Structure 1
Amino acid sequence: MKKITCFLIFLSSLIVFAQEKVENFPHSFLGKYKGTLEITSKRGTQKIPMEFHLTKTEKDSVFNYVIVYDKSPRNYFLKIVDQEKGIYDIDENNGIILPASFHKNVLHSFFEVQGNFLSTRLAFDTKQLEFEILFTRLENKTTTGGISKEIPEVFGYPIGVFQKAILVKD
């Protein structure tokens, strides 16, 4: 009976370990993803065809990172900075390099450009990618709190544009 119990404990630990397998980013998610991007703002909702390509290059630490909006590609590179820590760069090939962090199959990036703040989120799965961008104008900043040492001043940024797509891997 002890042998059976030990075997069952061993087997269950293997099952738990298999379920907690961490994907090898970006290698596990290479491919071309396609779908429709929905852009929502105060002006309404717009839908456009979208693709995302994550493919190998000649360098082991650099990957093609291509976003295609309505058949117009934006050719970037994803560069591994520290894979163990989940630190990457998105190189736009024009002097702009955006820092990105990968955690639990999601690549995140925050950046400010021309008075706007953007948050990007790419959630990878084996067969699809959830792509999301949130956009706010810095001039729309709200301020609350700050009435005592215990209650700090807090800045809020109302989201003005939502972009979301579920892209399916080819």
Structure 2
Amino acid sequence: MKKIIAILIITFITAAAFAQSTHTFPQSFVGKWKGSLQWLVAGKPTQTFTMQLHIKPTDTAGVYTWQIIYGDDAKDNRPYLLKPIDTAKGHWVVDEKDGIVLDGYVLGNTYTGAFTVQNNTIVDTYRVENDTMFVSFLSINLNAKNTSGKGTDEVPTVTSYKIGSYQQGILQKLP
């Protein structure tokens, strides 16, 4: 009997932990988030600044705000929209409302995408765990590259790129 009770308790704890670890997008991302973002560039001092991300439903079903605010003075305010494309496949876009639309994909508790602008590819990642959002932006310089390998089936040609900068931040959900 003790074994059965122990198994039931372990099963209940495991199920509760699983239920808490599952995330639904964008519901688990909705809210006001604020924290510090560090900008790292090789050979330069690290810069730290405030970042906010406000995600909330709009009047249009399935569409959310995706408002990024940089700095304490909030002068760099980017009021974008988050729109569903194919939610079954986790495909969403951030619409910058100026003709630029950035594809993003939900992978577990992470929303991530990649885009290229002026020969730099940016890989952006937003991951939510409880009331904390981890953000990162990796900038890849497409002009600074190194090609190696033999170009054969056994040793294919491989191109590597210079990492221009990396930004990382931790945002807390505001009440």
The TM-score with structure 2 as length reference comes to: 0.87
Contact 2:124–2:136 (8 Å) recurs in 1:
yes
Contact persistence 1:119–1:134 (CA under 8 A) = yes
1:156 corresponds to which residue?
160
Once residues 28 and 144 of structure 2 are traced to their aligned partners in structure 1, the CA distance between those partners, rounded to angstroms, is: 39
Provide the secondary structure at the position in 1 that maps to 2:13. Answer: helix
Hey, which bits of structure 1, 4+ residues long, moved more than 3 A?
A: 4-15
Instruction: Tell me the equivalent position of 2:13.
Output: 15
Identify the residue that residue 46 of structure 1 maps to in structure 2.
Answer: 47
Report the equivalent of 2:59: 58
2:153 match: secondary structure: coil
- 1: CA distance between counterparts of 2:68 and 2:161? 26
Partner secondary structure for residue 159 of structure 1:
strand
Q: How many residues align?
A: 168
* TM-score, structure 1 as length reference: 0.89
Post-superposition Cα deviations, 1:64-96, rounded to whole Å, max 9, x if no partner, equal 001111112111111122223211111111111
> Is the 8 Å Cα contact of residues 28 and 128 (structure 2) preserved in structure 1?
no
Task: Give the CA RMSD over aligned residues.
Answer: 1.8
- The aligned residue for residue 81 of structure 1 is 85
**TM superposition shift of 1:44:** 2.3
User: CA–CA distance in 2 between the matches of 1:80 and 1:104?
Assistant: 16
Secondary structure, in 3 states, of the residue corresponding to 2:88? coil
> Is the contact between residue 121 and residue 139 of structure 2 (CA under 8 Å) also seen in structure 1?
yes
Instruction: Note the alpha carbon deviations across 1:123-148, whole angstroms, 9 max, x for none.
Output: 11221111110002110122121342
Give the aligned residue type for 1:54.
I
| Equivalent position of 1:124 in the other structure | 128
Unaligned 5+ runs, structure 2: none
SS of corresponding position for 2:168: strand
* Match of residue 140 from structure 2: 136
Any idea what SS the aligned residue of 1:112 has? strand
Q: Distance in 1 between matches of 2:160 and 2:151?
A: 16
The whole-number CA distance in structure 2 between the counterparts of 1:85 and 1:13 is 30
Quote the Cα distance in structure 2 between the aligned partners of 1:132 and 1:37: 9
